[in-house]
Copies of this chain bind each other. A is one copy, B any other.
């Protein structure tokens, strides 16, 4: 077995929550397997969510803040704030990243979204590589995290039916696509299928045991499970500059987000 370095960004305000208990199940299992684990418990750390002027201390007081430019300049000069630098170091250290959160309003909690906005600096996680008539920069399958794996570990209050092909919430893979594809695949991670615990508003002890057992199994297969087969931007499937999937690709019954997985 390969010894891995696993980084978990954890976003729940309550240490006694089900989500926190699942984090403990995951970290215990990973440690027992011989992996190294680092956890950023964002609430416990008092993580600052709002990207603002204080993130760019060298910006002149009356200078217009253009976030991508300010972020890129601060990254280049090494003037990002220490909390952001520490998280970037954890990402560079890790072989595997897990984002763990409860699904709130069909997305991640604000505190984790703010972690992405601040830690994913320009020049680090976006705005890198050559863009021309043949390439669209180092993103969607390339980028700083290429060669690393990532996965969502999500607590959902609702039931699988609600997020099934015809469920009113939309299919869970579509609900999570902007995160899996737009936040994980974008800077180069290979994205594993999410691990989802359903019905967490009413999970009883037996349900927790079932979920924990499945989660331990998943922790045992992190190195070997196949990633979601997203299409790399620069792999020949897309036309530039529009970054549109070439017309001959995609099955007849695929549309929207599904087009961006290889058949």
A binding-site residues for B, Cβ under 8 Å = 13-14, 16-17, 43, 47, 49-53, 64-68, 104-111, 113-114, 116-117, 120, 136, 140, 157, 159, 161-162, 164-171, 174-175, 177-179, 181-183, 201, 233, 238, 241-245, 247, 250, 253, 255-260
Instruction: Report yes or no: B14 in contact with A260, Cβ–Cβ below 8 A.
Output: no
Instruction: Report yes or no: B109 in contact with A168, Cβ–Cβ below 8 A.
Output: no
From B43, B52, B106, B170, give the contact of A260 (CB < 8 A). Answer: B170
Instruction: Report yes or no: B110 in contact with A50, Cβ–Cβ below 8 A.
Output: yes
From B67, B179, B256, give the contact of A257 (CB < 8 A). Answer: B256
Other A-B pairs beyond A50-B109, A166-B245, 9, CB < 8 Å: A13-B50, A43-B50, A105-B178, A107-B113, A162-B243, A164-B242, A167-B243, A167-B244, A174-B174
* Residues in chain B near residue A50, CB distance under 8 A: 13, 43, 47, 49, 109-111
- CB pairs A–B below 8 angstroms (6 shown): A13-B52, A14-B64, A110-B113, A166-B247, A167-B244, A170-B181
Instruction: Report yes or no: A256 in contact with B258, Cβ–Cβ below 8 A.
Output: yes
